[in-house]
Each structure stands twice: as structure tokens, then as C-alpha cells.
Structure 1
Amino acid sequence: MNRLCVHTITTKPLSIEQIAEAYPRAGVSGITVWRDALEGRDVAATGRMLREAGLDVVSLCRGGFFPHTDAAARKLAIEDNLRAIEEAEALGAPMIVLVCGAAAGQPLETSRKQIAEGIAAIEPYAKAAGVRLAIEPLHPMYADTRSAINTLAQANDLAQQLNSPFVGVAVDVYHLWWDPALHQEINRCGSNGKLFAFHICDWRVPTRDLLLDRALMGEGCIPVKQIRQWVEATGFKGYHEVEIFSTEYWAGDQLVFLDKIKRAYLDHC
């Protein structure tokens, strides 16, 4: 249990203050904070509150969304990512997860070029703040607007191209479980010290919504335990981060849900 982390989006109905009480009681020791949970709050004070509650702040989610067909919009995206770096530093989060983005009105290759340029532009600021940037590849079904980085190989190639100790990748089983090269690419990023984060959940069969129907580990078809073994065989010693978007689970009692998360983690991860 000491490596169990939960994303604030997983228990979306709870405020960050409620989370600071609920997570430690459920045996959760790590937290990844989504930026919406910080709205209207003193970020540094929130970070202190979480640590005083016994939670390790694992990362801030999310930065990215670099590609746009309009240059002014790309500039605004860079500015937003610089704000995310400031927020991560104030929060005490050592890492930002990047959902890289895509623009439907241009080729994926162009979006990927803009992603590389965007990360390169913010990397010096991240380095100065001591904040790592984790490129998260998303399932190809999101290649229209959410991310032009859709395989771990693409994320690894991009991290290699940028060649910074502050740029690596996040492995999310929901997005990558289907990839026949997954084991090979996990070994690649792990051996290079580029495996920064590991996100877990499950793929419901049949899935009822491509965004908001993620399942608890053990409820679907993802071989979570096997992928965890591949990740840990590389020497990865970070948290196992539960990231679930689910209208079904959000509609229920979040304390009961946290207990289900703990049991699913112990039984299926």
C-alpha cells in the first residue's frame, strides 16, 4: 500500500480539503493533483496541507496541449505551461504530466513538431524549478484533439530527441495496453531512466464511453499485473497512480469508492 497514489480526478466530487482527510484514512500515501482542484486556492498552502496530512505529492496534472493551427494560440499554450510549472513548484510537485495535444485541422506530423517545439520551449523553466516533464502517450482514439503522441515508442523518441534529464514519459495502462511493442518500449524508457510515472486503471468490456467509463483494476481486460511487472523489472520504484474517469463512480459515495480502489489495488496489481 505504501506505493498507492490516487489522482484527484479519480475522486472528482471531493474537494482537495476533503481529499486530504480521506486519502490517508483509506491507506493512500501518494496524490497526483489535477489543476482544477487548485482553483481559488493558495497553491503553496495546499501543498503544505497535503504533506501535513501525510500525503506525498507525486505530480501535477496536466500540462501540454501545445499544437494549434494559430501561432497566437500556440503562444498561449506555452504561457499556460509556464504557469503549470510555477504551480508545481509552489505545490511541491516534482513532476508535471503532459497531455500533449493535437489540432484536427493539421497533419499529425505537424502537431508532433509543435509538441517538440513546445516542450523544448518550457524545458529550461522546468529545469530551473526542479520539475520533471512526463510525456504521456494517449490511445489513438484521442489523436484528433487530445494527443498526437499515441504510442510509447513515439513518446520515447520525443524524450530522446529533447535529450534532457527533465523530460521523460508516463506509462498509462489505459492508453497503452493494446500495443504489441509495449514490453520492449517499457524496457527502453526504463533502461534510459526516462520512465517517470505509471498510471493504472482498467478497460471495461464493453466500454460504454471512450472517456468517462474507466474501470477499477480487475474489472476489465487490461493485464495490469503483468504490465506492472514489466515496469518494475526496469528498476522503477515510483508510485502506482490510480487514474479513473468514471461518471458511474463519481455518482457514488467516494469513501466507498476509495475502499474499492484499495481492494482492487491489493488484489489485481
Structure 2
Amino acid sequence: MNPANLTDTSKLCVHTITTKPWNIEEAAKNFSAAGVKGITVWRDTLAGRNIRQTGQMLRDYDLSIVSLCRGGFFPSIDSNKWAAAIDDNRKAIGEAHELGTSMIVLVCGADPSQPLEESRKQIRDGIQAVLPEAAAAGVKLAIEPLHPMYADTRSAINTLAQANDMAENINSPFVGVAVDVYHLWWDPSLEKEIKRCGANGNLSAFHICDWKVPTTDFLNDRGLMGEGCIPVKEIRSWVEATGFTGFNEVEIFSTSYWKEDQHEFLGKIVKAYKECS
């Protein structure tokens, strides 16, 4: 690593879910004071707020609004739930536009009462259904593959190859892929698929954290970079080798860290980012 990078936080983004106890105003103020330059906004933090004014508040703190999280959850054997998911994704596109971000991360969903292939078809159909609204708003839909342990209900897209296949099949400048090390570090095809993603111009987002050993909760026990077994630096080098110049987004779900003083936790995030990613 270039020694200059040890103090460089110009590409550091933190998700609002990472510091979940803070409301969005607290997160903006404290991220900015810590030298964080990007923020990914989770939709729950916007409840009851004027979204356009919230976006301006974030920019006033000199924060780039990297993306809105999350859309997706398309598949359902119930046609009414399917229709509700389409409506909710259209709502998310409107929120992203009001907020002033050009990307929504999709946690695509799955329905365990039907085959995975049917869920994947519904994901593709769902993205295509809302694509006209996304294009009109200038908002890219980033397909995020999730670890196979989530294939029951959270996502039927479980490898980067599957996400690449879908993005290439849809073939729109408003559909891309989000790479999250937590979900993909185990995949022996990861480097090859990152190269493929970059070559096709579909690499839209890069999320980082670490996998604790042993983990105590597959959802809410993510670690700081350098705290587990994910080769974060190596994966980041593959991403950057594609020409990706976007943010490195720290996304940590952690019951234990949410119980800590969030100012101290944010300090740990910045330190881990500088030293271990």
C-alpha cells in the first residue's frame, strides 16, 4: 500500500446502518467531522423527513450521497405482494431522485415456496418493470449478490457471476452490480468475475467489512476491516484494477458495535479503513 493512503479518506463512505443508533442528522455531522467523504443512506433514516432537504443537508456537510439502500425484494408467489414490491421500488426511485443520488442498491429477494430459478426470473422481470422510471430519474439499479446462506428469503442472486449474467442480459446503462466482500469473499471465481464486471462497465458499488472468526450471527456480527478472515486489501486491488474509482463503502451490521459509543466506533472504522483496507 502507498504510505500516502494511510491518511487518505477521500474514498471512504459509511452506510447509515453501520452507525444505526444515530439518526441521519447525527450521522452526517459526525461522519463529516471524522473525515468521511461519502454516505449511503438507508431508507428508514428518511422516515418523516423532507427528503430533498435531507439531501441538501448531507451535501452541506460535504458528503457525497453514494447510494440509497435498499430496493429489491421482488420475488413472491403472491401476485399482490409482487405488485406491492414493484410499487415500493418505484417509490425508492423517487426517493433517490429527491435525495440527489444516482444509485439504488438492490437486495433482490427470494421466495422459499418456489424454485430459485423462478425467483431469479421475477427479479429480472421486476428490474425491467421499474427500469423506465429509473432511467427517467437518472438512477442506476445495482444488483447486489448475497451470500448463499441468504438464498431462502433475502436473495436468489448469490454469486457475482449470477449478478453479471443478469446485468448483461438486461443490458441497460441504468443497471449495474454491487460487490460486497462479506457476501463474495469465499467465491473462487471472484477475481475473474470482478474483471468481467469492470470490463462491461457494470461495477457500480464496492462494500467492505470483515467476517469474524467465529461469527456468532450471520446477519448482525460483521467485523471491522482487519478483524476477520476476508482479504479486503486484495479484493480492493482487484476492484481498482478494473478502473473503478468509486467509494469504498463500510457496511457493518453488528449488534455488539451498535451497543458501543458510536463516536468511538466511528473512530475505529476510520482507523481500520486506513490500516486494513
* TM-score between both structures, scaled by the size of structure 2: 0.97
Match of 2:100 in 1: 92
Give 1:123 shift: 0.8
1:23-55 CA deviation, whole Å, 9 max, x = no partner? 011110000000000011000000000000111
Partner secondary structure for residue 177 of structure 2: strand
Match of 1:132 in 2: 140
1:39-80 CA deviation, whole Å, 9 max, x = no partner? 110000000000001110000000000000111110000000
Match of 2:20 in 1: 12
Q: Take 2:141 and 2:217, find their aligned partners in 1: how far apart are those partners?
A: 29
Q: Take 1:126 and 1:245, find their aligned partners in 2: how far apart are those partners?
A: 28
Give matches, 1:217-232, under 5 Å.
217-232=225-240
Amino acid at match of 2:169: Q
Partner secondary structure for residue 249 of structure 1: helix
Matched, 1:245 2:236: no
Amino acid at match of 1:13: P
1:127-160 CA deviation, whole Å, 9 max, x = no partner? 0000001000000000000000000000000000
Partner secondary structure for residue 248 of structure 1: helix
Q: Take 1:156 and 1:55, find their aligned partners in 2: how far apart are those partners?
A: 29
Q: Take 1:98 and 1:61, find their aligned partners in 2: how far apart are those partners?
A: 7
Matched, 1:26 2:41: no
Q: Take 1:39 and 1:253, find their aligned partners in 2: how far apart are those partners?
A: 24
Match of 2:43 in 1: 35
Q: Take 2:138 and 2:35, find their aligned partners in 1: how far apart are those partners?
A: 28
Give 1:20 shift: 1.5
Amino acid at match of 2:222: R
Aligned to 1:119, which of 122, 127, 152? 127
Partner secondary structure for residue 237 of structure 1: coil
Q: Take 2:190 and 2:123, find their aligned partners in 1: how far apart are those partners?
A: 22
Give 1:206 shift: 0.3
Aligned to 1:151, which of 153, 159, 163? 159
The number of residues matched between the two structures is 269
Match of 2:213 in 1: 205
Partner secondary structure for residue 225 of structure 1: helix
Match of 1:59 in 2: 67
Partner secondary structure for residue 96 of structure 1: strand
Match of 1:185 in 2: 193
Q: Take 1:21 and 1:105, find their aligned partners in 2: how far apart are those partners?
A: 44
* TM-score between both structures, scaled by the size of structure 1: 1.00
Q: Take 1:168 and 1:180, find their aligned partners in 2: how far apart are those partners?
A: 21
* Structure 1 runs of 4+ with >3 Å offset: none
Q: Take 2:82 and 2:28, find their aligned partners in 1: how far apart are those partners?
A: 35
Q: Take 1:5 and 1:72, find their aligned partners in 2: how far apart are those partners?
A: 36
Aligned to 2:270, which of 246, 262, 267? 262
Give 1:244 shift: 0.2
Amino acid at match of 1:175: H
Q: Take 1:3 and 1:209, find their aligned partners in 2: how far apart are those partners?
A: 29
> Structure 2 unaligned runs (5+)?
1-8
